[in-house]
Structures are given as C-alpha cells and as structure tokens.
Amino acid sequence: MEVPLTDNNTYNYYKMYSLPILDQLRDETSIIIPEYPFLMVKGSKYLPVASPCLQISADDQYICNENNVVTFSTLTCMEQLMQFQSNLSLCSRRVVQMEEMKVQRLSSDSWIVYSRNNAVMSYKCGDDISKTTILGTYLVRIEPGCEIILW
C-alpha cells in the first residue's frame, strides 16, 4: 500500500511572466526569461517549480509534488529580483522584437500592457473617464463593470 506524504506548508504559487523592458535611449526592448516558469513563495523562502502544479479547485488552489519542485536548485535570477539584490549577475536580458502594443491577460481583472510608443489609455468606470499616456510596461487592474480602452 502506498500512502502519499504531504508537506503541511502553504505557499503562494506564481506563474512567472517575462516583462518587456523598454530602453528608449537604445530604442530596443529586452526581456529576462526565467529559468523556471513557476515559483512557490512562503515568507522569505522561495522554491522554483519546473512544471505546472495540479489545480485542485476553481479558487486557485494547487497541489505540487516532488516532480514539480526543483529541490536542490542554486540561486536563480527570479530570487535575486524578488530579494531586491543589487547584483543581478544571474539575470541575462535578451533583446527582442515586439509589437507596438502587447496585452497579456493575467487573471479576470489583471493585465500586463506594453507600449513601445506613446499611447493613450482610457479608463471608463460608470460615467467617470480618465485618460493617461503610457510608454513601457504596466500592470493594469480593472474593477468590475469598468473598461480600459487603448489607442
């Protein structure tokens, strides 16, 4: 008989996204590609995750096993970034060709918005409309019943 063993610790589970970094002086866009696509975090403890964990409920609960987690990993670029280290020697930026505007959905109300050139973002919520000029990368959260228009 096999009995599964579990760790009673609860971690925050993150999917890592490569955010475009716009360098206007060089007129180029670069990204940092994470070594591992997922990360489990609890306080100051970080565990790189090499493959997706199993989603067990609709409210974003996952279960990971030893095959998902990289147990004996060395320090990674993501850990250096999350610890706000000044030495980012493990991070290598790669120059990429990007569209003028790129939008990536993170969740039902969160989006990554990248604009290579000045663009206008309108936020409409009921009768209120606000406009702002954007350039570069933004994390945008949209409240229920509101909308964002990019142009």
Residue 5: its pLDDT value, please?
54
Q: β-pairing, 45-49 with 38-42? A: antiparallel
Alpha-carbon gap, residue 11 to 90, rounded angstroms: 24
Q: What percent of the chain has pLDDT over 90?
A: 48
Of 29 and 44, the structure prediction assigns the larger pLDDT to 29
Residue 65: helix, strand or coil by DSSP? coil
Question: Residue 1: which pLDDT band, with cuts at 50, 70 and 90?
Answer: very low
Q: What is the pTM of this model?
A: 0.72
Task: Check: CB of residue 91 under 8 Å from CB of residue 82.
Answer: no
Question: Which H or E run contains 141?
Answer: strand 128-141
Residue listed under structure tokens 């493959």: 51
CA distance 101 to 124: 20
User: Whose CA is closest to 17, among 128, 103, 116?
Assistant: 103
pLDDT digits (tens, 9 = 90+) for 46-93: 888 999 999 998 888 899 888 898 877 788 888 888 888 888 888 888
Whether residue 96 is predicted with pLDDT greater than 60 in this model: the reply is yes
Kindly report the backbone phi and psi dihedral angles of residue 77, in degrees, each rounded to the nearest multiple of 5, phi listed first: -60, -45
pLDDT category, 4, cuts 50, 70, 90? Answer: low
